[in-house]
């Protein structure tokens, strides 16, 4: 089957993750994605650099390898009228514009919803903000960690004295996924109505959605949970446990799993103990149950502990380093990564492919990220600029 979004053009003027990775995902489904960035390159191009140029300047980074695959690159100076004119021409011929820029910045560019819909009434504008477009924080900027902090996640993840942020920027990437879902829905709606629309997401809204079950519990019960680190409060034993040569995570949820766990650690009577009836009762008794599990794990190697847990049917896994995560044979068997080359890289970079398998749909990483401005001339010809005009734009440092 041909790519689902073949023939759909996406204009990506986003920064960092939430906008650019939304456009990346649409590209994985076959859309043509044109990335617009500054003449010197956007900040996100050089985060976590994978190599250094001969002059000492950082090369492209790990983030760009993930968010840039398969895109076309156009450089523009949007502070100048000619640069904004090119941007408007591109927006007018795009099906989707993705922009995680502050509302004031979009309006200045003429790409707020009023301006964009006036030049492209069938176009879909997908925007991401930190906190949403209304309310007291509407004009504030922010990043993934700020959304984690304000969603209650950091407070519950750490301890009362030491709130902890997740290392993976899940608010950023989840916002990108919700944005891509919204863009797909807007395309389906356009097929029925012939009209475009504005799709809005926010880091805070997505982070709150991820925490919703805990927030619902708080609203109804006023339980006021405080963070307990890796130790889960609503089931047990669910925590990280030290082995002779590492650490493992064990998650025991439900009466059936608890019964199997109790038999595994040689305490089958615990399954019938009224103190441990139901997940929440076990969560309330987590310290006692986790102490039993810690003793059981402490005399075993990681491999032996995991083998016994697997045989008992209790979900568990090793706490891996980043290199071990890359070397995990399960990741290799599922082909979760694609090796992507780029000029200057000493080795191909493993880029997470679309983590969805389809029985009859071509989707996923299709090519490397673009070099800075690699497609500027071709894209400008697409919107009507002659070679002479392109040369003038280059001479005037517009592109």
> 61 pairs with which residues across the strands?
49
pLDDT band at 54 (very low <50, low <70, confident <90, very high): confident
pTM value? 0.94
The pLDDT assigned to 112 comes to 96
Tell me whether residue 375 is in a domain. yes
Higher pLDDT pick, 1 / 257: 257
In the three-class reduction of DSSP (H, G, I as helix; E, B as strand; rest coil), residue 208 is classed as helix
Average pLDDT, the chain: 96
Same domain for 168 and 68? yes
Tell me whether residue 127 is in a domain. yes
The pLDDT assigned to 1 comes to 72
Is the Cβ–Cβ distance between 41 and 127 less than 8 Å? no
pLDDT band at 334 (very low <50, low <70, confident <90, very high): very high
The pLDDT assigned to 224 comes to 96
* 118-175 confidence digits (pLDDT tens): 999 999 999 999 999 999 999 898 999 999 999 999 999 999 999 999 999 999 999 9
Higher pLDDT pick, 102 / 216: 216
pLDDT band at 98 (very low <50, low <70, confident <90, very high): very high
Same domain for 159 and 52? yes
Look at residues 166, 168, 41, 178 and name the one whose alpha carbon lies nearest to residue 98: 178
Tell me whether residue 326 is in a domain. no
CATH number reported for the structural domain that contains residue 176 in this entry: 3.40.50.10540
Same domain for 337 and 267? no
Those residues with Cβ within 8 angstroms of residue 311's Cβ, 6 or more apart along the chain or in another chain = none
The pLDDT assigned to 326 comes to 97
Question: Is residue 40 packed enough to be buried (19+ CB in 10 Å), middle (13-18) or exposed (0-12)?
Answer: exposed
Same domain for 309 and 339? no
CA distance 355 to 104: 35
* 75-97 confidence digits (pLDDT tens): 999 999 999 999 999 999 999 99
Lowest model confidence (mean pLDDT) among 74-78, 188-192, 318-322, 360-364:
360-364
CA distance 170 to 152: 14
Is the Cβ–Cβ distance between 239 and 228 less than 8 Å? no
The pLDDT assigned to 255 comes to 96
Is the Cβ–Cβ distance between 170 and 211 less than 8 Å? no
The pLDDT assigned to 2 comes to 79
* 348-397 confidence digits (pLDDT tens): 999 999 999 999 999 999 899 999 999 999 999 999 999 999 999 999 99
Same domain for 189 and 310? no
Tell me whether residue 216 is in a domain. no
Same domain for 373 and 302? no
* H-only helix segments in the chain: 18-28, 62-67, 81-92, 103-109, 113-119, 144-150, 153-157, 170-193, 203-210, 212-221, 255-264, 279-284, 286-298, 302-312, 322-327, 329-333, 376-382, 387-395
CATH number reported for the structural domain that contains residue 301 in this entry: 3.30.1540.10
As a whole number of Å, the end-to-end CA separation of the chain is 37
For the chain, how many structural domains are there in total? 2
**Domain that residue 136 falls in:** 9-210+333-395
Look at residues 322, 360, 352, 320 and name the one whose alpha carbon lies nearest to residue 335: 352
Is the Cβ–Cβ distance between 47 and 63 less than 8 Å? yes
Same domain for 133 and 99? yes
CA distance 43 to 220: 43
How many beta carbons lie within 10 A of that of residue 312, not counting itself? Answer: 15
Same domain for 65 and 112? yes
Is the Cβ–Cβ distance between 202 and 132 less than 8 Å? yes
Is the Cβ–Cβ distance between 172 and 15 less than 8 Å? no
Is the Cβ–Cβ distance between 33 and 71 less than 8 Å? yes
């Amino acid at each position: 089957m041909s790519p689902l979004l073949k023939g759909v053009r996406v204009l990506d003027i986003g920064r960092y993750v939430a906008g650019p990775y939304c456009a990346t995902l649409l590209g994985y489904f076959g859309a043509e994605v044109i990335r617009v960035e500054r003449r010197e390159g956007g900040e996100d191009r050089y985060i976590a650099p994978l190599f250094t140029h001969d002059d000492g300047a950082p090369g492209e980074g790990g983030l760009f390898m993930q968010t840039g695959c398969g895109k076309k690159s156009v450089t523009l100076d949007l502070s100048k009228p000619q640069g904004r004119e090119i941007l408007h021409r591109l927006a007018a011929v795009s099906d989707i514009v993705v922009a995680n820029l502050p509302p004031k910045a979009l309006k200045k560019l003429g790409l707020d919803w009023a301006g964009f819909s006036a030049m492209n009434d069938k176009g879909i504008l997908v925007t991401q903000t930190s906190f949403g477009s209304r309310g007291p924080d509407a004009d504030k900027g922010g990043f993934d960690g700020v959304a984690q902090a304000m969603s209650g996640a950091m407070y519950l993840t750490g301890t009362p004295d030491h709130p902890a942020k997740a290392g993976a920027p899940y608010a950023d990437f989840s916002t990108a996924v919700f944005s891509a879902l919204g863009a797909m829905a807007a395309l389906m709606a356009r097929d029925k109505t012939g009209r475009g629309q504005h799709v809005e997401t926010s880091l805070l809204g997505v982070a709150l959605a991820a925490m919703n079950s805990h927030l619902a519990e708080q609203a109804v019960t006023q339980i006021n949970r405080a963070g307990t680190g890796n130790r889960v409060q609503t089931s047990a034993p669910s925590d990280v446990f030290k082995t002779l040569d590492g650490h493992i995570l064990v998650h025991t949820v439900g009466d059936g799993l608890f019964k199997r766990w109790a038999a595994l650690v040689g305490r089958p009577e615990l399954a019938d103990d009224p103190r441990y009836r139901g997940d929440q009762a076990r969560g309330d008794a987590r310290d006692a149950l986790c102490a039993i599990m810690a003793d059981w794990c402490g005399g075993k190697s990681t491999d032996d502990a995991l083998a016994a847990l697997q045989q008992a049917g209790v979900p568990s896994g090793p706490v891996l380093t980043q290199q071990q995560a890359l070397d995990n044979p399960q990741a290799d068997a599922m082909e979760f990564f694609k090796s992507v080359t780029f000029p200057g890289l000493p080795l191909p970079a493993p880029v997470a492919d679309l983590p969805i398998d389809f029985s009859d749909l071509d989707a996923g990483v299709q090519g490397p990220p673009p070099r800075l401005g690699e497609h500027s001339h071709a894209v400008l010809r697409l919107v009507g600029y002659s070679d002479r005009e392109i040369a003038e734009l280059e001479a005037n440092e517009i592109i």
